């Protein structure tokens, strides 16, 4: 299977991201409806695009719509289309997003914010795979794969009576969770360097290098805006540093809060560097532990102990995996 551009853009080596990427490759080629949950800025639309691109529908259109703040009338008109004169200002008939995505995938973002009536309309569409334009009686059939997403806890909203339980079940035959950036460890530095290289390539410049203090601050910050916020920070850093080593003072003020535990921060930084060093050795040797251990100058038993201490998940290999 060819790896799609969106799938390749899902940069990350932490366990949660490895599980996510494996799930995309497993469920993407099917026609199952998938629900993606995660905080704002974690990359839910990127996951939805990857699911679409690795599916048989990948050559057709991917249509994304954010339904947060839609009124009931606007929801129906935007998703299903409308006839001329269906409401004030409808001077011509218009196809909706469902018709635009025909044969492809429709990504509906922020479904947790839909009104009760809009929830009923979406549930009926998912059940019947049929719809009517606003102001029409003609029933149309839809051949689209629906992928949905939300940044709220749908289970909690169901318990509170704010979201329909039957719609929650209809939305996702499978549910994928995107971890917040603060839970992704050394992925923060991996992503930061990717963004710096991308920005340098776009401006034909030289990407800056992250100094030790800057790295420590990036790792300790909580990133409420997640990957989107990190990308913006790296774009800013590229402009400020112009290819030199980035220091603590180059980061935005909110990232420059005093290190309350300098020793703890240094230890965590050293752990993450060790983890990345070990992972690269394993990757170079196809995760054959005996060979990676020889390169690292330690025994295979010591490497196994190090993998457990670093929390590095061992990949599944054939029975000859550990052959020398």
What residues in the chain have per-residue pLDDT under 70?
Answer: 1-3, 86, 91, 257-270, 272-273, 311-324
How far apart CA 35 and CA 44 sit, in angstroms, is: 10
Residue-level pLDDT at 308: 75
Residue-level pLDDT at 41: 95
Residue-level pLDDT at 318: 36
Backbone dihedral region for residue 192 (phi beyond 0: left; psi -120 to 50: alpha; all else: beta): alpha
Whether residue 221 contacts residue 251, with contact meaning beta carbons closer than 8 Å, is answered with: no
Is residue 318 situated within a structural domain? no
How far apart CA 298 and CA 300 sit, in angstroms, is: 7
Q: Are residues 62 and 152 in the same domain?
A: yes
Q: Are residues 42 and 121 in the same domain?
A: yes
Is residue 319 situated within a structural domain? no
Q: Are residues 56 and 135 in the same domain?
A: yes
Q: How many domains does the chain have?
A: 3
Q: Are residues 18 and 132 in the same domain?
A: yes
Whether residue 199 contacts residue 159, with contact meaning beta carbons closer than 8 Å, is answered with: no
Residue-level pLDDT at 158: 94
Is residue 224 situated within a structural domain? yes
What six digits make up the tokens of 66? 């954010």
How far apart CA 206 and CA 200 sit, in angstroms, is: 5
CATH assignment of the domain containing 272: 1.10.10
CATH assignment of the domain containing 250: 1.10.8.60
What's the domain range around 50? Answer: 5-179
Is residue 96 situated within a structural domain? yes
SS3 of the chain: helix, strand, coil, percent, to 5: 50, 10, 40
What six digits make up the tokens of 68? 């947060």
Residue-level pLDDT at 215: 92
Q: Are residues 138 and 280 in the same domain?
A: no
Q: Are residues 62 and 122 in the same domain?
A: yes
Residue-level pLDDT at 298: 84
Pairing of strands 139-141, 209-210: unpaired
């Amino acid at each position: 299977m060819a790896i799609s551009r969106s799938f390749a853009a899902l940069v990350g080596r932490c366990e949660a991201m490895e599980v996510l990427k494996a799930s995309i490759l497993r469920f993407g080629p099917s026609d199952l409806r998938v629900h993606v949950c995660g905080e704002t800025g974690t990359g839910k639309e990127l996951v939805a695009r990857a699911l679409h691109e690795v599916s048989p529908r990948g050559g057709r259109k991917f249509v994304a719509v954010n339904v947060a703040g839609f009124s009931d009338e606007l929801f129906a008109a935007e998703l299903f289309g409308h006839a001329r004169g269906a409401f004030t200002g409808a001077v011509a008939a218009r196809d909706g997003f469902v018709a635009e995505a025909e044969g492809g995938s429709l990504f509906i973002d922020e479904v947790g914010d839909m009104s009760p009536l809009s929830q009923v309309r979406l549930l009926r569409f998912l059940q019947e795979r049929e719809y009517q334009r606003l102001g029409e009686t003609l029933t149309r059939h839809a051949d689209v794969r629906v992928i949905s997403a939300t940044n709220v806890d749908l289970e909690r909203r169901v318990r509170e009576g704010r979201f329909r339980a039957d719609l929650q079940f209809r939305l996702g035959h499978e549910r994928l969770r995107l971890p917040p950036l603060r839970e992704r460890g050394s992925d923060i530095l991996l992503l930061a360097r990717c963004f710096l290289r991308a920005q340098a390539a776009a401006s034909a410049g030289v990407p800056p290098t992250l100094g030790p203090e800057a790295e420590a601050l990036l790792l300790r910050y909580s990133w409420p805006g997640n990957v989107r916020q990190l990308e913006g920070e790296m774009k800013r850093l590229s402009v400020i540093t112009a290819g030199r080593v980035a220091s603590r003072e180059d980061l935005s003020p909110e990232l420059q809060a005093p290190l309350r535990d300098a020793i703890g921060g240094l230890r965590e930084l050293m752990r993450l560097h060790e983890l990345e060093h070990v992972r690269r050795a394993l990757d170079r040797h196809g995760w054959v532990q005996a060979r990676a251990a020889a390169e690292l100058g330690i025994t295979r038993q010591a490497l196994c102990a190090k993998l457990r201490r670093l929390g590095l998940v061992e990949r599944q290999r054939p029975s000859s995996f550990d052959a020398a």
